[in-house]
A = this chain, B = another copy of it.
Amino acid sequence: MVKAAKKISARIKILDAALSVIRTQGYAATSVDDLCFVAAVTKGAFFHHFKSKEDLAVAAAQHWSELTGGLFAAAPYHSHADPLDRVLGYLDFRAAILQGALPAFTCLAGTMVQETYDSHPAIRDACALSITGHAAKIETDIAEAMEHYGIVADWSAASLALHTQAVLQGAFILAKATGGPELAAQSIQHLRRYIVLLFTTPSKLEEIS
């Protein structure tokens, strides 16, 4: 156990360094030397564990998915009996974790995919999987809420779940542009209000077209 922990320590240290450094500086501006310095490992160790910088980025996106997956799986909002309360609880949880410095609450996948979507397909796909995989978990609760409340709509649970991720990603951009989480929190509140309206407004609204 101690042995195993020591064995993989350099790899994990590099991965953890990647999460914070790339969220701070972006992928392209982050050099392998930066990562090695922050992780306190040598370049030899880096290229022993990752065959290229791109390979590290893919692994970092997967590491990110695992970490955030654990964080949200352990979050308290799952205990609500009403699936709509779980969805709203998820948003409240997202708003609550807008604490500390910007790199601490922004999304690695959203940051990296902006820089790599055209030039590094492997990274793009890993980021896309991270985002859509997370959305899929929310989709379950949304689908249950739709059934529970008898919602028949021209939007799907999947599209609303992805919309929540769009709002969050956009909220992070506003936070970065303004230097603080205030606008991000407001955007999440707008999203929350939208979902409440969707589930409480007497169904048919054809005039939206």
Residues of A within 8 A of B (CB): 24-29, 102-103, 109-111, 113-119, 124, 127-128, 131-132, 155, 159-160, 162-163, 165-171, 173-174, 176-179, 183-184, 186-187, 189-190, 192-194, 196-198, 200-201, 205, 207-208
Contact = CB atoms under 8 A, between A and B. Distances in A.
B115 A28 contact: yes
Contacts of A128: 177-178
Contacts of A207: 196, 200
A131 B189 CA distance: 20
Nearest to A125: B177
B174 A159 contact: no
A119 B127 CA distance: 23
Given A127-B177, A174-B165, A160 B190 contact: yes
A187 to B, nearest CB: 4
A69 to B, nearest CB: 17
Return the 8 tightest CB-CB contacts between A and B, nearest first. Answer: A170-B170, A166-B170, A28-B28, A26-B115, A169-B170, A117-B176, A28-B29, A128-B177
Given A128-B178, A131-B177, A177-B131, A187 B208 contact: no
A201 B194 CA distance: 11
A166 B186 CA distance: 10
A117 B167 contact: no
B174 A131 contact: yes
Contacts of A200: 205, 207
Contact of A190 (B25, B115, B194): B194
A187 B173 contact: no
Nearest to A175: B117
A31 B207 CA distance: 49
17 contacts: A24-B119, A25-B118, A27-B28, A28-B115, A103-B118, A111-B114, A114-B173, A124-B177, A127-B177, A132-B177, A166-B170, A166-B171, A170-B171, A193-B198, A196-B205, A197-B198, A197-B201
A187 B167 CA distance: 8
